[in-house]
């Protein structure tokens, strides 16, 4: 048996048994939400967010509340970070108030790793996205969504398309799909936005969305990460959409049962048409719902409940 890790920082460092346990528990909670009531009664979760978030922050909060936890939300923009306090000092300050779980979102790659080394034994860190490096709970909710639609992940083709280079969703998502043995992973991105060699290894790489879509069972569209382009000029929405937007016509190249995924936030009219985002193949709302249950399962797993 593998020991339960103290933190969830990225997919690479999480034991496969932990990832499976979280996915299985999340599905059981979805099937019978009563199973969860009060399991973490009175425990304390802090959400520390240095970047904007709607789905991730709220779903950690809802997950914690459904388990009976108490929640404190700290937006860095309203905190002493504005007075020059470092992430590390902010962490030590919050840790002194003895939360059971600290959920961190931060723009720097690797930010939660340095904190993990200084974490007290009773504190569990969950990475809610660091720079363009990792976003493990997003990968888990996406994998849960795939499992709900396909019995055998080993026989499906999944395409991830858009700004892969700047995307932590790509890094964690592809890492998890590889660990779970997804049959074929395809990556498609415009010039300058392709994934690096480590992510691309073992995948099929395309530079054309139409070709990449041929016969896929699932497609995950990603927005351009404008906040991470570092000097690179961002294309305007209309010209990007011409070559990289998922339209009903393009989706016609995929298999008849292909599901459409997007982690959000969507830029309608850029990487995805409204008619596709709201269409019958879209599972985008289901992904959001799954996010709450994956985060409940993550909290239960880390806290041993």
Burial zone of 286 (CB within 10 Å; 0-12 exposed, 13-18 middle, 19+ buried): middle
Residue among 7, 106, 165, 223 that touches ligand NCD (CB under 6 A) = 223
The nearer residue to ligand NCD, 47 or 95, going by C-beta atoms, is 47
Rounded distance, CA 192 to CA 165, Å? 8
In this chain, which residue has its C-beta nearest to ligand NCD? 263
Q: For the sheet containing 44-49, what is the strand order?
A: 70-75, 44-49, 101-106, 124-130
Site string for ligand NCD, 63-92 (x = CB under 6 A): ------------------------------
Residue 263 contacts ligand NCD per CB under 6 A: yes
Residue 112 contacts ligand NCD per CB under 6 A: no
The nearer residue to ligand NCD, 25 or 223, going by C-beta atoms, is 223
Q: What is the DSSP string of 22-68?
A: HHHHHHHHHH-GGGGTTTTTT-EEEEEESS--SHHHHHHHHHHHHTT
Residue 129 contacts ligand NCD per CB under 6 A: yes
Residue 168 contacts ligand NCD per CB under 6 A: yes
Instruction: Measure Cα distances from 252 to 82, 249, 260 in Å.
Output: 49, 5, 12
The nearer residue to ligand NCD, 66 or 135, going by C-beta atoms, is 135
146, two tokens = 């795939």
In angstroms, what is the minimal distance from the CB of 217 to ligand NCD? 22
The nearer residue to ligand NCD, 228 or 281, going by C-beta atoms, is 228
260, two tokens = 């459409």
Task: Return the residues of window 36-65 that contact ligand NCD according to CB under 6 A.
Answer: 55-56
Residue 264 contacts ligand NCD per CB under 6 A: yes
Helices 284-302 & 16-31 angle (0-180, nearest 10): 120
Q: In the block, which residue shows the tokens 């309608």?
A: 268
The nearer residue to ligand NCD, 190 or 263, going by C-beta atoms, is 263
In angstroms, what is the minimal distance from the CB of 56 to ligand NCD? 4
**Phi and psi torsions of 133, nearest 5°:** -90, -55
Residue 138 contacts ligand NCD per CB under 6 A: yes
Q: Please work out the total of residues on this chain that contact ligand NCD, with binding judged by CB under 6 A.
A: 10
Count CB atoms within 10 A of the CB of residue 17: 12
In angstroms, what is the minimal distance from the CB of 55 to ligand NCD? 5
In angstroms, what is the minimal distance from the CB of 293 to ligand NCD? 15
In angstroms, what is the minimal distance from the CB of 99 to ligand NCD? 21
The nearer residue to ligand NCD, 43 or 50, going by C-beta atoms, is 50
3-state secondary structure 200-242: HCCCEEECCHHHHHCCCCEEEECCCCHHHCCCCCCCCHHHHHH
Residue among 133, 135, 157, 165 that touches ligand NCD (CB under 6 A) = 135
Which residues are near ligand NCD by CB under 6 A?
A: 55-56, 129, 135, 138, 168-169, 223, 263-264
């Amino acid at each position: 048996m593998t020991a339960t890790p103290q933190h969830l920082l990225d997919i690479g460092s999480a034991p496969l048994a932990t990832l499976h346990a979280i996915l299985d528990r999340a599905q059981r909670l979805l099937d019978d939400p009563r199973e969860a009531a009060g399991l973490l009664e009175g425990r304390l979760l802090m959400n520390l967010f240095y970047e904007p978030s709607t789905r991730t922050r709220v779903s950690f909060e809802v997950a914690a509340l459904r388990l009976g936890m108490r929640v404190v939300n700290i937006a860095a923009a309203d905190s002493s970070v504005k007075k020059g306090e470092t992430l590390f000092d902010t962490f030590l300050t919050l840790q002194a108030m003895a939360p059971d779980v600290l959920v961190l979102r931060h723009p720097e790659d690797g930010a939660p790793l340095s904190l993990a080394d200084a974490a007290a034994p009773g504190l569990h860190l969950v990475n809610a996205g660091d720079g363009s490096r990792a976003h493990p709970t997003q990968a888990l909710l996406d994998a849960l969504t795939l499992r709900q639609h396909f019995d055998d992940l080993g026989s499906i083709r999944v395409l991830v398309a858009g700004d892969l280079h700047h995307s932590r969703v790509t890094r964690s998502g592809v890492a998890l799909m590889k660990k779970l043995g997804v049959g074929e992973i395809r990556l498609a991105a415009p010039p300058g936005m392709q994934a690096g060699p480590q992510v691309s290894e073992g995948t099929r790489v395309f530079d054309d969305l139409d070709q990449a879509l041929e016969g896929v069972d699932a497609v995950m569209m990603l927005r351009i990460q404008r906040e991470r382009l570092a000097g690179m000029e961002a294309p305007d929405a209309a010209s990007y959409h011409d070559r990289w937007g998922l339209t009903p016509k393009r989706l016609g190249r995929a298999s008849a049962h292909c599901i459409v995924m997007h982690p959000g936030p969507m830029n309608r009219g850029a990487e995805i048409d409204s008619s596709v985002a709201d269409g019958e193949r879209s599972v985008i709302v289901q992904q959001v719902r799954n996010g709450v249950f994956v985060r409940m399962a993550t909290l239960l797993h880390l806290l041993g409940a």
